[in-house]
Every structure is written in C-alpha cells, then in structure tokens.
Amino acid sequence: MVQSSNVVVPAWPKVVWGNNVPSKVMIFHWLALKNSIPVKEVLARRNILPPNQSSLCFWCLSHVESIDHLPLHCKWSSAIWADLFRWCNIRWILPRYLVDFSFDWYYGMGIKASKYWKMIGPATI
C-alpha cells in the first residue's frame, strides 16, 4: 500500500511498471515514489546535507527541495508542465503530491488517455 495525501491506495506496480517507457524512466519514477531520489529534503533527513547548507530548491530558492516540489511545483518545472498542457489543449491542476500525480496521470486525468499519453507524464518527471 502507498500512503497518498489523504487516502491509502493500492500498491502501484501497474502505475510505474505498466507503461511503455524506457527502463531508466520507470526506475526513476519508482525511486521518486519511494522518496529515494537525493533531493535536499531527503539528504537533510539522512544527515548528509551539511548543516549550514540551505535545503531550498536550487532552481527557485523559495521552497524546500522535495520530491513533490521539484518535478511538479518548482517554477522551473511548472513552466514545462504549463507548456505541455497548453500544447495538448488540456486544463489540469497538478496535484500536491507525486503519488497523486502518478495515479491521476496513469488513469487518464478524466480524459481518454492513450498508451502514448501514459508515457508522457513519467518521462516529463
């Protein structure tokens, strides 16, 4: 089971491993969902980040660099998502948590999603 923002959802092997994306993308997505990517928040929690070093995001310098912030909500990555949605003529607000994003994206965000669409989200992350 994976703990989402407010509900417990079933294990996510289909969401991660059920896409036709390169192995590197699947592994990165899986590690991100397990909160194992070495972002500053994780490094600080493991006492690897030096105590005098800021845990703010390198790109925006306004939020803690977390696995939910960096690929989804940083102003740098938000611009990429905005361009992608504009290009595809889609209106969608990114969820707060990466696990919610992954489930929403995999199950089509309320649109009829093709197998190619299911590849775009994890590859963009």
Residue 43 has a pLDDT of 93
CA distance 16 to 55: 28
- CA 56 to chain centroid, in Å, comes to 18
Per-domain boundaries in the chain: 2-124
Q: Which residues contact 48 (CB under 8 A, 6 or more apart)?
A: 38
Binned at pLDDT 50, 70 and 90, residue 4 comes out as: very low
Among 15-19, 31-35, 69-73, 112-116, the range of highest mean pLDDT: 69-73
Write the pLDDT tens digit of every residue in 44-86. Answer: 999 999 988 999 999 999 999 999 999 999 999 999 999 999 9
The Cα 87–Cα 123 span in angstroms is 16
CB 88 within 8 A of CB 108: no
